[in-house]
Chains A and B, each alone.
Chain A
Amino acid sequence: MRRTRVARAAGSGGADTGPVVRIRDLTVDFDTAEGRIRAVDGVSLDILPRRTLGVVGESGCGKSVTAQAIMRIEDKRICTLGGRILLRRGRDTLDLLSLKGTGARMRELRGREIGLVFQEPMTSFSPVHTIGNQIVEAVRLHFDLTRAEAVERAIEQLRHVGMPHPEHIMNRYAWELSGGLRQRAMIAMALICAPGLLIADEPTTALDVTTQAQVLALLDELQDRHGMALMLITHDLGVVAAVADDVAIMYLGTVVECGPAASIFREPGHPYTQLLLDSLPSLSRRRRGALKAISGTVPRARNRPGGCPFHTRCPSAIAGVCDRVMPAPTQVAERHVVHCHLHDRP
């Protein structure tokens, strides 16, 4: 994946360069048989144009739920959202949480302003309609085009994502394609309206390393070409290190550290980030003894610990502080923020 990362500067707040989406104090609660659980607990994040934000964290830490909140595809019978999700549209800002998830306004924004790619493409494609028909429908939902124009655009888009024989693929069903081609078709559909933000939730987790590399290279290239923001959700730190410009590390429904990828991988500030990096086996280094494992397991969302959510497993925890007080964000380098009492300023 060759590209000049340096050329991609972080926006500094102007009308065109400010964040595409600003998430502020997002909370997500689920009503379950065992009572209400808090799946996301006060997440604040900026998603910048032309940049890839990698969101990493272990299973259940709230990555998908955060993405679903941005798309407003939460199940509103059991799910309550709080906070703000501010979408920039030209000069205006719109709080997505003030809209009705199932309303016309949100339907118009979904796909048009924000696209979504899932881990399992079969969940976005219907098994009874051809890929072509579904992409054509997606275009015509947002643009006033004739069917012939929409078909042309769909074929163009399939070619764009590197699909071999796009005319032929138009008449195929998703289940007839290999995992890699299916993922390409889904990316084509998600990008057909050129949204300003693409959210990709574990888009390569079900794929081989080789196919994964192809799909990531494609996302990267499309991003450069369209200048869109990409929110890439994954549990794979290797993937994040390879493609992300910015990183947010999540633990138990909170962002514990976020900032430019280079800064985070060079100087991880949060004990959890440091331990995660240490626990990774290395591709390029000979084995030297045991891996450093993080002791214990992630507490269940139902039993969220008070204070710092990581204190039950943190080797640096300060008794009487970490188990009582939620750490506030501290900036440790440019745009690099850590939520940990070790960085508290006196």
Chain B
Amino acid sequence: MSGEARETRETGGALPDTVILRVKRLRKYFDADGDDPVRAVDNVSFDLHRCETLSLVGESGCGKTTAARAIIRAHAPTSGEIWFRTGAGEVVDLAGLTARELRPLRAEMQMIFQDPYSSLNPRMTVRDIVAEPLRIFGLTDRRALDKEVGGLLEAVGLQRSHMTRYPNAFSGGQRQRIGIARALALKPRVIIADESVSALDVSVQAQILNLLVGLQQRHELSYLFVAHDLSVVRHISHRVAVMYVGRIVELASCDDLFERPRHPYSAALLAAAPQVDPDRSGGFAPPAGEPPSSRNPPGGCHFHPRCPHAVARCRSEAPAWRQLDAGRLVRCHLAEELSLTGVGAAGGAARAQAQDRHG
């Protein structure tokens, strides 16, 4: 690890203490050797802080899953850097590590999957499912394993006695808890949750969201969260990155993004999101068209064919990053000039009030 180690120390010094993961200019192209590769993730950069939830949102195919999988090195990135602060306090670039060098770090970053039905092996007991990662990392004593597994099951709101059962004896929400217990087994510091609550019914979804928030505080976890339900994203995130065709187009604090979006695509996503609105004043409005293919996206700003604000320049010139106010980055030529509506405005206030009656 000698070459990396040197670089590690250099960049490690530049990584602020609060940052646990720094993704820099990450690219993942499929068919990279072909004539037109799929630019699934194209020059993506962000920081994930300690105990922070950062969400990736955007339409299907924009590269959320690919980015997440490249970060945990389930995909080899095409290029870019993935600086990770390990539990031992070292800062390493995961992108440059070999499989063997990665192995000890795998414990520290875990993924929770979308589908609670297919992601658990039906022939294994809950004990074996949750204990498997522990066993792989060398814990073999049966009694110690049982104690650990029992504690994990309780941490996610299940019972020790569930250990001997098989997954098919559990509901969708309970299975998702088992998946979370398994992800927690190795005391990770970063959890990647890709659509982990999307398949759940609302009543169960609320239980799992509460569980994730509670675990984050108790175990000082950082979440990289992917969800298509923007209400869920609003609830759970500290910051949000909006992706469009492989690129992040806006990165902002959760409240800023929802209340005052600065990129036309962010505003379009928010306008399309349905919500329970007792006054039913707003309704929702779809943006025109469909997202382009990431094989040959439109030139200039990828969003220009669908953007109601596009000007000539948008067709020819790709917008660069602009820093607008503290911590907010936007990739739009007109970011400073446009006045866009979010969901916290007039209609939102009425909605919030009506919901307060319940909440």
* A-to-B contact residues, CB < 8 Å: 1-2, 5, 58-59, 178-181, 208-214, 216-217, 235-239, 241-243, 261-262, 265-266, 274-288, 290-294, 297-298
| Interface membership of chain B positions 167-209, coded 1 if the CB is closer than 8 angstroms to chain A and 0 otherwise | 0000111100000000000000000000000000111111101
B210 & A290 in contact (Cβ 8 Å cutoff)? yes
In the complex, chain B residues whose CB is within 8 Å of the CB of A208: 59-60, 228, 291
User: In the complex where A210-B268, A262-B280, A276-B202 touch, is A285 in contact with B355 (Cβ < 8 A)?
Assistant: yes
CA distance A2 to B278 in the complex (A): 16
User: In the complex where A213-B284, A262-B280, A277-B358 touch, is A283 in contact with B231 (Cβ < 8 A)?
Assistant: yes
In the complex, chain B residues whose CB is within 8 Å of the CB of A243: 274
In the complex, chain B residues whose CB is within 8 Å of the CB of A290: 210, 213-214
A238 & B348 in contact (Cβ 8 Å cutoff)? no
A297 & B344 in contact (Cβ 8 Å cutoff)? no
* CB closest chain-B residue, reference A282: B355
B269 & A209 in contact (Cβ 8 Å cutoff)? yes
In the complex, chain A residues whose CB is within 8 Å of the CB of B327: none
User: In the complex where A213-B285, A236-B274, A291-B210 touch, is A297 in contact with B202 (Cβ < 8 A)?
Assistant: no
User: In the complex where A283-B231, A284-B258 touch, is A297 in contact with B286 (Cβ < 8 A)?
Assistant: no
CA distance A58 to B173 in the complex (A): 12
Question: How many of chain B's residues touch chain A, expressed as a range?
Answer: 35 or more
A274 & B358 in contact (Cβ 8 Å cutoff)? yes
Contact of B276 among A179, A241, A294 (CB under 8 A): A241
User: In the complex where A241-B275, A298-B171 touch, is A209 in contact with B228 (Cβ < 8 A)?
Assistant: yes
17 example contacts (A-B, Cβ-Cβ < 8 A) are as follows A178-B290, A209-B273, A210-B272, A213-B284, A217-B286, A237-B276, A242-B283, A262-B278, A265-B280, A281-B206, A281-B232, A282-B235, A283-B234, A285-B348, A291-B210, A294-B203, A298-B201
Interface residue B89 (Cβ < 8 Å from any Cβ of A): no
| Interface membership of chain B positions 85-125, coded 1 if the CB is closer than 8 angstroms to chain A and 0 otherwise | 00000000000000000000000000000000000000000
B258 & A283 in contact (Cβ 8 Å cutoff)? yes
CA distance A221 to B291 in the complex (A): 23
In the complex, chain B residues whose CB is within 8 Å of the CB of A288: 359
Interface residue B343 (Cβ < 8 Å from any Cβ of A): yes
Closest 3 CB pairs of A and B: A213-B286, A284-B348, A281-B235
User: In the complex where A208-B228, A209-B230, A285-B352 touch, is A279 in contact with B205 (Cβ < 8 A)?
Assistant: yes
CA distance A291 to B291 in the complex (A): 33
* CB closest chain-A residue, reference B232: A281
B275 & A238 in contact (Cβ 8 Å cutoff)? yes
| Interface membership of chain B positions 220-233, coded 1 if the CB is closer than 8 angstroms to chain A and 0 otherwise | 00000000101110
Interface residue B287 (Cβ < 8 Å from any Cβ of A): yes
Give min CB distance, A168 to chain B, whole Å: 16
Give min CB distance, B79 to chain A, whole Å: 28
CA distance A54 to B25 in the complex (A): 45
| Interface membership of chain B positions 263-305, coded 1 if the CB is closer than 8 angstroms to chain A and 0 otherwise | 0000011111111111010011111001100000000000000
User: In the complex where A1-B283, A59-B201, A284-B352 touch, is A293 in contact with B230 (Cβ < 8 A)?
Assistant: no
User: In the complex where A210-B268, A283-B343, A284-B348 touch, is A242 in contact with B277 (Cβ < 8 A)?
Assistant: yes
A293 & B255 in contact (Cβ 8 Å cutoff)? no
In the complex, chain B residues whose CB is within 8 Å of the CB of A282: 231, 234-235, 275-276, 351-352, 355, 359
Give min CB distance, B351 to chain A, whole Å: 5
* CB closest chain-B residue, reference A295: B207
Give min CB distance, A211 to chain B, whole Å: 7
In the complex, chain A residues whose CB is within 8 Å of the CB of B272: 209-210, 212-213
User: In the complex where A236-B274, A284-B344 touch, is A276 in contact with B203 (Cβ < 8 A)?
Assistant: yes
Q: Which of B332-359 contact A (CB under 8 A)?
A: 343-344, 347-349, 351-352, 354-356, 358-359
Contact of B284 among A1, A59, A235, A265 (CB under 8 A): A1
A212 & B355 in contact (Cβ 8 Å cutoff)? no
B280 & A235 in contact (Cβ 8 Å cutoff)? no
Highest count of chain B CB atoms <10 Å: which of A59, A178, A290, A291:
A291
A278 & B276 in contact (Cβ 8 Å cutoff)? no
B283 & A2 in contact (Cβ 8 Å cutoff)? yes
A280 & B290 in contact (Cβ 8 Å cutoff)? no
Give min CB distance, B208 to chain A, whole Å: 9
B60 & A284 in contact (Cβ 8 Å cutoff)? no
A278 & B283 in contact (Cβ 8 Å cutoff)? no
In the complex, chain A residues whose CB is within 8 Å of the CB of B60: 179, 208
In the complex, chain A residues whose CB is within 8 Å of the CB of B234: 281-285, 287
In the complex, chain B residues whose CB is within 8 Å of the CB of A276: 202-203
CA distance A30 to B134 in the complex (A): 43
Give min CB distance, B326 to chain A, whole Å: 18
CA distance A320 to B352 in the complex (A): 38
In the complex, chain A residues whose CB is within 8 Å of the CB of B283: 1-2, 242
